[in-house]
Amino acid sequence: MGAPPPVTKPTPTSTPVATDSGSVLQTQQPTQSTEETGSTTRKKKKTNPDALPEGHMLFNNLYKVEKVLGQGGFGLTYKAYDTQLDTHVAIKEYLPTQIAHRQSDLSIHARSDEQEEMFIQGRQRFLDEARTLAKFKHSSLVRVVTFFEDNNTAYMAMEFEAGEPLSALLKAKRTLNEKEMLDIMLPLIQGVQVLHNEGYIHRDIKPDNIFIRSKDGTPVLLDFGSARRQEGNADGSMTAMLTPSYAPMEQYFEEAARQGPWTDIYSLGAVMYRCISGRKPIGAPQRSNAIMRNAPDPLNPAVSVGEGHYSEAMLKAVDLALRVIETERPQSIPEWMNAVSAEKGANDFAQEVLAGEEGAQDKKTKAIIFGLAAAVVLALGLAIFVASESSKGPRKLTQAEIFAQQFKELEDKANQGDITSMYDLGMRYAEGRGARVNQSKAVDWFTRAAEAGHAQAQSKLGAAYQNGTGAPQDSNLAIQWYMKAAEQGQPEAQYQYALALATGAGIEQDQNKSLDWMEKAAENGVPQAQLALAQAYHKGQGRPQDMRNAFQWYLRAAEQNVADAMYAIAEFYEKGLGTEPDMNKAEHFLRQSAELGSLDAQIRLAHILIEANGLNEGERRREAVKWFRSAASQGDIESQFQLARAMDLGLGTRPDITGALNNYTKAAEQGHLKSQLILATTYLTGKGVPRDTREAFKWFKKAAEQGSSVAQNRMGISRLQGIGAPKDLPEAFRWFSMAAEQGEREAQVNLATLYEKGMGVIKDMEKAVYWYRKAAEQGDARAQGTLGWLYEEGKGVQRDIGEAAKWYSLAAEQGDHNAQKNLGWMYETGRGVKKDPVQAYLWYAIAGAYGDKEAQRNLALLMRTMSNKQKLEGDLLAKQWVSKQQQRAAAEKTSP
């Protein structure tokens, strides 16, 4: 059954309409509600308890909140005044009210600890949406001006536009005729193609996310919260975020390989189906189930629904886009366009539409896109665009004819010698405005304007020769034209000329002259020139080192969103270079630089925040984890380690042994030594993972081969005891030797033991004594006790009871119970020390308390000869020694 005839469009409502996602760009009047008393209606302004107060300033007092435009499940959107540009913007605030709320200080926090991680992840997705949008510049894609964090949440500022979502228009009209639909869908398809060209898919195209400008009826695609690169996440998955009726079957699964441009094509077809039929398409799961049962598709095809009211080519295009099985669908927009562009007479109309298109695209894509326009609109009939022969008055020109007329007038002026027209004509050919992109013709017109002295044309001509665009690449000619433009004060040319002088590209290298031109470009507002000049003053290269001047130029570049300048400004505030130290401002600029994608800023900010303690410790550590996560995802090895450490210890995030292990492994595989040692120890001890001595051996070996003495010692132990690898005494000797030479005292003790016992090496007591002494001098208690015994017995050294007593004493103080027993014997007998029963009591008592049976027997015999006073003194000394050891252990436990 065909769709009902289109109805007349009602007068636009003055009430603002919010999309489901909260992506509101518009309003015409403040939101109103009514209260009725009898026959009188009184209007009352709504208040929103979640909203920021009117007049509140955001982003360093740049934006002044004026009113709420709308609220969705994930946030609020405000109309705000840009105090710097004297214009309005729409600011979207991340505020998922189901899991978060605003506190009295206006900050946003999760409603519970359990929802904290969800809130943080959502905030990150919000910022990811902003970053995605910022990449694209097309009239059919919502334009993000900037994005930032404040009040413990995130914001994005967008261009403010008046209008309504397509869903509101369809609610009022139910259906659109073919011209109305094409006026919306063709520009929209072009915008989506821009996304696809950059490797992104939108994944949530629906009437709620298509905004219609009131000024000209053109569309804007909103809400990129679900947009992702086509390859998906790092693990090859995509989150299953979708809108039923508009999402294809593959979107119900998380496998990234199943999703691509064809996913958005389905959604575009679903939107067109809604415009044609007046109702949402039947959901993909229901259709898929029917197909699997060999039952008829429950969706009535568009060729049936719209028969008699829409062109057959258009309806076939919709049905093709709505194929359930993704491989049967067109795999790209050009393929979709091409499938329906073979209609008779399509090419003539395609050329007409193409001539009126704004913005440059590659020629093939444009031709194919407008091939569809030609096919579907021609099939309807060109009566939409021109008055019929029987109508009264002159024929109304098409938009394409208007552009062609303007282009002809511009060309006439240019041919008559008007320099500005020459330049404008060059720009139109370069950008494809009113004509097909033609870089050669652009260069021809730039040349004519440049030779007549037009500075911007000279600069464009320099760029053309520099890049080989429309002209052969020629650095000498590029420099000549840049120089001419620079001498006329053209900022970009001044910067490019300065770069050439700095590098010697096409001109003799001259650093001083380069900086002179760089300064001119900087004064004229070129941000990269401001950065270069700041660096010259900072490093004292070509300019006397001047931190105040460097600070001022970094600041000017930072104000133009140069991430490297923001990072430098943060360093200046942190260290007090050229300004007063201010850690709050340092963090502010680091945060801005990090948001713009500076890896260095993300790493530095994360390190500052992770060490937080006291006030806002938890919040700062959570932010640190966010930045470590971002830097880690970009391949920074140290950040992968820090993220693993945070997960391991529960710093700024919930403890996650699996996540920690994954990130330790990523870092370890890239050679991060600490990660290798932690992994090896983890597998050796079985902390959070099944014990795996072979895996432990693998990571100890990797660390050992990097020169880690700790790992080398562990390799020696593994080979000595057969842990994770077969026993191999010569190999154990080799690893212990390497570690011992580096000063690893445990390895020195182990090496000495091998020499003492002749294991894996010829027995050599002198070398054993040498390595025991090395370890003993570093404070190793076992080595000290052994050295005492060797001196007492005269093994490998001259017998020396006094030297033996010295080493026993050092070992005893560190808790070596055998040394304590031997020292007690020396004090009891007066061998090597002055005879002292109280000291003998002390060391026998301590060794005996830890289970040494011989010490216990010696103490019992000694006590028979001691007075009560001596026993009390000995007991007191023992308690004092134990107390001192406990204090030392507590101090070591709390030390970083």
CA distance 708 to 678: 13
Q: Name the token pair of 775.
A: 């370890």
Which residues, 6+ apart, have CB-to-CB distance to 165 below 8 Å? Answer: 17, 19, 207, 208, 209, 210, 211, 212, 222
Partner residues linked to 148 by β-bridges = 155
CA pseudo-torsion sign 870, 875, 881, 883? negative
Q: CA-to-CA distance for 129 and 398, rounded, in angstroms?
A: 37
Q: Are 408 and 442 in contact (CB under 8 A)?
A: no
Residue 37 belongs to what H/E stretch?
A: strand 32-37
Helix axis angle for 673-685 and 657-669, nearest 10°, is 130
Torsion of CA 418, 420, 423, 427, to 10 degrees: -120
Helix (H) or strand (E) holding 220: strand 219-221
DSSP result, 546-561: -HHHHHHHHHHHHTTT
Q: Is 81 helix (H, G, I), strand (E, B) or coil?
A: strand
- Distance CA(712)–CA(733), nearest Å, equals 10
Radius of gyration of the chain (CA): 39
Q: Looking at beta carbons, which pairs linking 124-128 to residues 24 or more positions away fall under 8 Å? A: 124/626, 125/225, 126/74, 126/75, 126/94, 126/154, 126/156, 126/225, 127/154, 127/595
- Report whether 322 contacts 274 (CB < 8 A): no
Tokens 């998380």 correspond to what residue? Answer: 254
Within the chain, what is the greatest distance between any pair of CA atoms? 136
CA 495 to chain centre: 30
According to the annotation, is 869 in a ligand binding site? no
Place of tokens 């008829």: 296
* Residue 5 tokens, joined: 């005839």
**φ/ψ of residue 299, rounded to 5:** -85, 120
- Residues annotated within a binding site for ATP: 92
- Residues annotated within a binding site: 92
